[in-house]
Amino acid sequence: MQVADKFMKLISGKKPETCKLIVSSHNYENTPSAEELGNLVAQIQATGADIVKIATTATEIIDVARMFQILVHCQEKQVPIIGLVMNDRGFISRVLCPKFGGYLTFGTLEKGKESAPAQPTIADLINVYNIRQIGPDTKVFGIIGKPVGHSKSPILHNEAFRSVGFNAVYVPFLVDDLANFLTTYSSPDFAGFSCTIPHKEAAVRCCDEVDPIARDIGAVNTIIRKSDGKLVGYNTDYVGAISAIEDGIRALQPTETTTSPLAGRLFVVIGAGGAGKALAYGAKEKGARVVIANRTFARAQELGNLIGAPALSLAELENYHPEEGMILANTTAIGMHPNVNETPLSKQALKSYAVVFDAVYTPKDTRLLREAAECGATVVSGLEMFIRQAMGQFEHFTGMPAPDSLMRDIVLAKI
């Protein structure tokens, strides 16, 4: 039968036997309650729809949980349903729909030509999120942050999971309130999380148990849900960052001693958030003389008091050069894409530093690192910290050794 003939039958009220009718509802303001969504499903079914389609809008990521609830309910009732939640906070609905029984999802053929907010490309659904392999038994991991869209962690972890045959998917969670998120997504299906800005400190309070080192640091970047439902927090940032800086120094200054090349050095940490705490703690443990600098002096002072280090404002740091050969570690988001022309410290001030590390890895060569290299400093990219902390997270997530060379190759090739 020709398409025109089929269309004429539809508008005359006679549906061809070979056709499936999708009836959809779009809500561009919010996501209704689970009860309201259930009623909407019934209304759509009453029209004679073969497939129910509901698209709503997320005001918070917890809204998506109600859509997942409806998907599961419809699957149990054998009602074919497409249930998607629009915008960045609803992104996970587009990737995780097959896990919860969604009939299908939507993707755009190319970036920039999306038909709805935060729609992924078909290539990303297949190649990054491995959507064809997602099913009811697939464990869900992901990175919690705000912002989070820039993160390359999904590329890295999903390919690493695939390489070892681990049935899991790793997605970005754009989270406003960490406690609400963890309470809402409390099922064993949501097995573990990476935490980034601004949730690392809040994660300490949200976990049932916290590794002693993470508690000392006061920041958690990795959360694991145990079989009994309890959340356990760890910190893999400090080992990843400190080992990257040490190896960067040793590469240019080979030494046979087992003493850390940070021992006795003046180590300036910019930033007093979760990553700043991790770097300050790690450097102090290695015997460095730590100084904390932050845009808000009170935050710098708070961290300084916590670890026994002097504090400076970022403005004061411009003229701080008590000695040559210092080490600088930027743990803030200054210079991160899209604000690539920003830098936490002027080029003139960088002349006092022998080693400069930047936790920002998008872009890899930040303005801070470029100008530090031009001043003759040894520079260490945030990609090294990213790779190493991710390896630690992978081992917590899977209980398996991290595929070291594979993860490094992925980062160098794709990030």
* CATH label of the domain that carries residue 393: 3.40.50.10860
For residue 200, indicate whether it is catalytic. yes
Q: Note the pLDDT of residue 9.
A: 57
Q: Is residue 161 part of a domain?
A: yes
Per the structure block, which two tokens stand in for 239? 């080992």
Residues 227 and 294 in one domain: no
Residues 124 and 172 in one domain: no
Residues 376 and 260 in one domain: yes
Q: Is residue 241 part of a domain?
A: no
Q: Is residue 244 part of a domain?
A: no
From edge to edge, which strands make up the β-sheet containing 22-26? 22-26, 51-57, 81-86
- Given 139, 199, 237, 396, which residue is catalytic? 237
Number of domains in the chain: 3
For residue 403, is the peptide bond before it cis, meaning its omega torsion is within 30 degrees of 0? no
Per the structure block, which two tokens stand in for 349? 């001030």
Domain final residue, candidates 136, 163, 188: 136
Q: Note the pLDDT of residue 17.
A: 76
Q: Note the pLDDT of residue 5.
A: 57
Residues 21 and 110 in one domain: yes
Residues 315 and 370 in one domain: yes
Q: How far apart are CA 107 and CA 116, in angstroms?
A: 9
- Given 53, 157, 286, 396, which residue is catalytic? 53
Q: How far apart are CA 169 and CA 162, in angstroms?
A: 9
Residues 28 and 129 in one domain: yes
For residue 53, indicate whether it is catalytic. yes
Residues 340 and 362 in one domain: yes
- Given 99, 157, 200, 396, which residue is catalytic? 200
Residues 127 and 32 in one domain: yes
Q: Is residue 202 part of a domain?
A: yes
Per the structure block, which two tokens stand in for 137? 């038994």
Q: Note the pLDDT of residue 253.
A: 77
- Given 20, 26, 226, 230, which residue is catalytic? 26
Q: Is residue 245 part of a domain?
A: no
Residues 209 and 324 in one domain: no
Q: Is residue 388 part of a domain?
A: yes
Q: Is the dihedral of CA 340, 346, 351, 356 positive or negative?
A: negative
Task: Assign residue 34 the CATH number of its domain.
Answer: 3.20.20.70
Q: Note the pLDDT of residue 277.
A: 94
Tens digits of pLDDT across the chain (415 residues): 454 455 455 556 666 778 889 999 999 999 999 999 999 999 999 999 999 999 999 999 999 999 999 999 999 999 999 999 999 999 999 999 999 999 999 999 999 999 888 999 999 999 999 999 999 999 999 999 999 988 889 999 999 999 999 999 999 999 999 999 999 999 999 999 999 989 999 999 999 999 999 999 999 999 999 999 999 999 999 999 999 999 999 988 777 678 999 999 999 999 999 999 999 999 999 999 999 999 999 999 999 999 999 999 999 999 999 999 999 999 999 999 899 999 999 999 999 999 999 999 889 999 999 999 999 999 999 999 999 999 999 999 999 999 999 999 998 887 6
Q: Is residue 306 part of a domain?
A: yes
Q: Note the pLDDT of residue 197.
A: 87
- Reported as half-sphere exposure (CB side, CA atoms, 13 A), residue 211 has a value of 14
Q: Note the pLDDT of residue 102.
A: 97
What are the backbone angles phi and psi of residue 26, rounded to the nearest 5°? Answer: -120, 130
Q: Which residue has the tokens 């015997």?
A: 287
pTM attached to this predicted model = 0.87
Domain final residue, candidates 119, 136, 153: 136
Task: Assign residue 264 the CATH number of its domain.
Answer: 3.40.50.720
For residue 247, indicate whether it is catalytic. no
Domain holding 296, by residue range, is 254-380
Residues 131 and 23 in one domain: yes
Residues 129 and 152 in one domain: no
Residues 120 and 184 in one domain: no
Amino acid at position 38, single letter: G
For residue 358, indicate whether it is catalytic. no
Q: Note the pLDDT of residue 1.
A: 41
